[in-house]
Structure 1
């Protein structure tokens, strides 16, 4: 996928598991190609008659592949970091559980307030 340097699904949260594995496979292929470029560049430089242009092209290709692999791996690591801290993502129930617990706390607080209000009202009616 030479021309597809961009992530096709935006921020990565909409990708399926198989799409994630595919992206990691693509990153691995890019790393292999990057190492091949580095090897070719070193082979060219080590020759008695170095073709500067070819060595330079290999170095440029190496840097391009390096940037692409770094970007792809960084996207996956960012996704895993977000998932690890409970950010909402595909299949996550963490945020829903958090909202449920907050709602339960609010209901418990409201019940306490109602009990206090009734107790206050009863004491006010008893003294009147």
Structure 2
């Protein structure tokens, strides 16, 4: 449960970063729209926008990678699906082996008579 809470917090942080990036872009555009824009201010806001956008991209890539692993059936923390599937398959193999042995026993008894 802690891992889920952590993932949700990370997604919330990414959402906050998107808002920050949009604000930086808006501030840069606002400064450019002035009669005498301050290039230092524009460069600062543009730099903030790019840095924040890189954080968003890295965070989303991390989550997409995680979701790819989960959706392809690879083992991941907190999952018992693989173990349950292995157990189910083992039970099927045991039942098949028992049925086959009973059939062989029946054929043996038939030939012995």
User: TM-score, with normalisation over the residues of structure 2?
Assistant: 0.78
Among 48, 66, 81, which residue is 1:61 paired with? 48
d(CA) in 2 for partners of 1:108, 1:29:
55
Separation of aligned partners in 2, 1:106 and 1:54: 70
* Count of residue correspondences: 112
**Counterparts of 2:4 and 2:112, CA distance in 1:** 64
The residue number in structure 2 matching 1:110 is 97
What's 1:9 paired with? none
Shift of 1:99: 0.9
TM-score normalized with structure 1 length: 0.71
Tell me the alpha carbon deviations over residues 29-54 of structure 1, each in whole angstroms, 9 at most, x when there is no partner. Answer: 21121112111111111111123343
Instruction: Give RMSD over aligned pairs.
Output: 2.2
Alpha-carbon distance in structure 1 between the residues aligned to 2:65 and 2:32: 37
Q: 1:18: which partner in 2?
A: 5
1:122 matched to 2:109:
yes
Query: Larger relative contact order (C-alpha < 8 A, sep ≥ 6)?
Result: 1
Distance 1:50 1:25 in 2: 34
Unaligned runs of 5+ in 1: 1-14
Structure 2: 5+ residue runs without aligned partners? none
